[in-house]
Structures are given as structure tokens and as C-alpha cells.
Amino acid sequence: MTRIADEMRHGFGDAAWQERHAVTRVDQLREWMGVDTDGSLIRDIQLGLARAPMAMRITPYLLNLIDWSNFLQDPIRKQFIPVGSEILPSHPLLKMDSLHERESSPVDGLVHRYQDKALLLATDRCPVYCRFCTRSYSVGLDTDSVSKKRASPFQMRWNTILTYLRASPAIVDVVVSGGDCFRLKPSRLLAIGMGLLSIPSIRRIRFATKGLAVLPMKVTSDHEWTDALVNISDFGRDQDVEISFHTHFNHPGEITDYTIAAAELLFKRGIRMRNQSVLLAGVNDDPEVMKQLVKKLSDLHIQPYYVYTCDLVDGIEHMRCSVKLACQIEKAVRGITAGYNTPLFVIDTPGGGGKRDVHSFEHYDRQTGLAVYRAPSVRPNQLFTYPDPLQSLSPDAQAAWLDPQRAKRILSDAVETARVKSMAV
């Protein structure tokens, strides 16, 4: 650890140093993990990565937050470093692009599902890779289990995207994501922001990033990048267009002095910030942990906006939580602070129904663990299902899901019950 400690003293607060020293291979973890006398932990990580749809990329900043004496239970580790011993079989309803984003892409790199909102996928790279990424079909490097479906280079599709947006005046809200906009060069970030601001019908632009939680020194050390974001925000404000910065914190332990410095800088420079969390078993599936997170974010002027139930992603079934638990935690959190700083717990429904309030199911069978939702403003004639994780169900219910004929009946019965209920309202 001596060499690492020495390098950390000299460059830890610099984003470029963090990027250069990001850990992408198992052998690089040895310098961080200390004693692994028989090599069993390294082998466990290797087995986890062999099953993971996301490649490993983790900054020294995050590695320094991990409690290596309690590695397997650490909430930071759980999000970024898989181990084979914890991975459970995926739910039978799993599909690679579970949200059907590609089906809702009229042009390459743009998802248009909601009538007045579009999602712009500006890059397929991130400063770190989350195990539970819903875009594991395209983001990051190929893994042993997934060959990524690459988009064409961004500059080749940018003009087509702008043409589509100009021809679609109903779109007033654009989310810039990816990947992660922290990986965009300042010139590219500025070009995207100003390009979107050149379209009169666009009234809101959101830049979505995990960066503030995993590489906060980007804001404080990469002045050109931060200036580009602030210039977009200032120019948007002059044009009466709202520019906001959407962060992704999942655990209060992710908020450090580096985070506080970055958030304070952005707040003082006029950047509006909101947070989107993902509900993850062993990370934040505890009401007290979620309460701490909400309060800490609120104190940083980061509005707790959404808490998502975890999408269906291969290799992370053990990290998903049930609809029942999501409802319980939402009830516990509501009322601890001002309503505008209380996050909405949502499900991004598999199949492309979009985000639904977790409580708003038409039908929820707690025995089979299947919730059914309507999305009248997105696809009014369709019903969407979200399954609880298999391990939250009884042995008989788990066996039923693993039997294709019984699973088919579970689905058809739940959908029919939901249809009858919705017609009766």
C-alpha cells in the first residue's frame, strides 16, 4: 500500500489522475485489498466478472471509500465489484434491453418514448461502471457474457439527432445521458448544450451523471469542463430554458468532503441539482440509510428526486428489492423532511411503459411477486409487469417461475386481473 499511499498524496484530488489510475483488472485490486492468503477472494471476483454484463472500472476515490476489512458487505463494493459467490440466477422475465429503449429510438442515439421528452445518449463510456446499469447492452467494454451493441460515433449522428428534434416541436425536455456526460470533452459538452439551446421548442435540458458520486474532483479540478456546464446553464437561463444537473447517489457514505466541495461550487455557480437513486439490497434497502441519504443530499442543495427499483439486469438478481419493500421504505421516508425534498419511488416498467409510481400498480400479487402497471400517457392500451426478485418469494413460487408453463399462467392471470380491476374503476 506504500506506493498507492504516496501517489494518492500527490494526485488524489485531480480528476485526470483519478482517470489514469482507474482500476480495470482484477490483478490491480491486489494492491488495495491487503491480505488474501489463499487467493479465494480474487478467484471470487474473477468468477463475478465472468458473469457480469459490465466491465470493471473503478476510481481510486471509490476504492478508498470501501471498507476492505468488510469487503463482501460494503455498500460501495456491492455496486461496482462483483463476486461470484453472491450472484443468483436471473429472473426468467429478464431481457437484455429490458426497457425496450432501442424500440423507442427513431434515430440512432435518441430515445423518444414520452410525448414531450427525449433521451439523448451522448456517449457509451462512464468514469466507473455500475453493475446494475440498465444499458449494459451498449455501455462500456465487451465482457465475457455480453458483446455490446455499439452506436455509431456521436459526431456522425449528432446532425441527424438535431434534425429530428427540430422537426419534433412536441419535445420540450431533453435528458443528456449515455454513458455519462462526465466523459464528454468540454468542447463536446458545450456543443451539445448549445446545439439543444438553438432549438426554440426545447424548454428543459437535463445532464445526467453518476460523476458527482464517483469522481467529484472533476468539478473542482477540471475547470474547463465545469465552465462549459456553467456557460450552458447561464445561456439557458438567459433564454428562459431550465438547465439542471442530475446526480446519482445511492448511499450516504458516498458523500465526502470532495462531494461537498463540488456540490457547493456548482450551487454557488447557479447549477440546479437533483438526485436519482436506485434501491439496492445491501446498499440502501434500509429506511434509516435512505433517510440519511435524503437529508444529506438536501443539505447539499441536491433535490432527492427519484428512487428507482432496480431494473432487470443479468447477474444482479440478489441486488433487486421487492415492490413491497420499496413501498415500505417510501412510507418510512415520507414526512422526514420537506415534500419537495422527498423522493418519488418509481418503477421504470419493463417493456417500455416508462416510470410509474411504485404504489400505482393495478394489481400486485405478493405470492407470485408480480406487479402490473398501466401507462396511459405512454402506451394507453398496454399493461406492464414488474417481477419481485426470486429470492423474496416462497420456494413454491420460485419453482413456479422456473416452470415455463406455470410462469406463463402467472403472467396471464395477473394481467387479466389487472385488466378487470382497471375497467372497474
pLDDT tens, position by position, 315-365: 999 999 999 999 999 999 999 999 999 999 999 999 999 999 999 999 999
pLDDT at 425 (0 to 100):
62
Residue 131 has pLDDT above 60, yes or no: yes
Residue 148 has pLDDT above 90, yes or no: no
For residue range 19-43, list pLDDT tens digits in order.
Answer: 999 999 998 988 887 766 578 889 9
**Structural contact between residues 386 and 350, judged by C-beta atoms closer than 8 angstroms:** yes
**Structural contact between residues 126 and 57, judged by C-beta atoms closer than 8 angstroms:** yes
The β-bridge partners of 127 are none
Q: Parse the chain into domains and list their residue ranges.
A: 1-359, 360-424
Q: Where are the alpha helices (DSSP H) in 215-353?
A: 217-221, 223-238, 257-268, 287-299, 323-333
* E strands in 21-135: 110-111, 117-121
**Structural contact between residues 342 and 304, judged by C-beta atoms closer than 8 angstroms:** yes
Give CA–CA dist 109/103, Å, rounded: 12
**Distance of alpha carbon 409 from its chain centroid, rounded?**
32
* Measured torsion, CA atoms of residues 69, 70, 76, 78, in degrees rounded to the nearest 10: 130
Give CA angle at 336 (333, 342), nearest 5°. 60
Where is pLDDT greater, at 135 or 293?
293
Burial 33-55 (b: 16+ CB within 10 A, else e): beeeeeeebeebbeebbebbbbb
Grouping H, G, I as helix, E, B as strand and the rest as coil, residue 117 is strand
- Non-local (6+) Cβ contacts of 411 within 8 A are 370, 385
Amino acid at 420: V
Please report which confidence band the pLDDT of residue 1 belongs to, taking 50, 70 and 90 as the band edges.
Answer: very low
The third-level CATH classification (topology) of the domain covering 1-359 is TIM Barrel (3.20.20)
22: number of Cβ within 10 Å? 20
DSSP 356-367: EETT--SEEETT
**Distance of alpha carbon 23 from its chain centroid, rounded?**
20
For residue range 207-259, list pLDDT tens digits in order.
Answer: 999 999 999 999 999 999 999 999 999 999 999 999 999 999 999 999 999 99
Residues in the chain: 425
- Non-local (6+) Cβ contacts of 352 within 8 A are 99, 100, 101, 103, 104, 113, 378, 379, 384
